[in-house]
Structure 1
Amino acid sequence: MHAEVDKDTCIGCGLCPTLCEEVFEMDDDGKAVAKAEPSSDDIIAKAKDAEVSCPVNAITVE
């Protein structure tokens, strides 16, 4: 499983690390970044929740 944040699209709302801190964090530029690959079923589900919850569709989890 791979997670990615499109930093050109990200608005830095901070929702993704709130929903899945194991995979996402806020970078120094104020935008989100995927810091790890989701591995367990629980973390994959949380990462996918962050993907569908992103207000600007900047997250891809595949």
Structure 2
Amino acid sequence: MRGIFRSDDAGRTWVRINDDRHQFAWTGNTMTGDPRVYGRVYFGTNGRGVIYGDPE
């Protein structure tokens, strides 16, 4: 399965943060976490801007 995933337990389990209708193009090496906001991740989308996500 292709997608962007996150883990809250050091990689034991993973949750997909996008779905088939919301693909983000090629993210490559453009992902980073926010050291000030728990769970926030930013990633570049190679022409579609910078997107960020927070845990629900």
TM-score w.r.t. structure 2 length? 0.26
TM-score w.r.t. structure 1 length? 0.25
Structure number with greater Rg is 2
